[in-house]
Amino acid sequence: MCDVCKAENLDSDFMNGARNKNNASKLYRVFKGQVAVVKTCPLHDIQLFMLGEQKFLLENLSFLKFLNQNRRSFISNSF
């Protein structure tokens, strides 16, 4: 399931169709000096691409809160 949809209580299958595939997206500016790897559905993947990282996070504030609360599960060691 898409991490953004999970944080915002959205039905990812309904929004993207039954055969949606989640992509691994990297957020570089969320945590200082670390990369956050999140799963995004096609809809949120396009939104992230179109808006950019900062505007995407401002549009999805509940996801940003969810990201900060679960920081350890999203941090990647490779940078």
pLDDT along the chain (79 residues), means of 10: 93 85 92 92 95 96 93 78
Rounded Cα gap, residues 7 and 44, in angstroms = 12
Q: What pLDDT was estimated at residue 13?
A: 86
Residues facing 39 on adjacent strands: 24
Report residue 59 as tokens: 């549009």
Instruction: For the chain, give the number of residues.
Output: 79
CB 34 within 8 A of CB 70: no
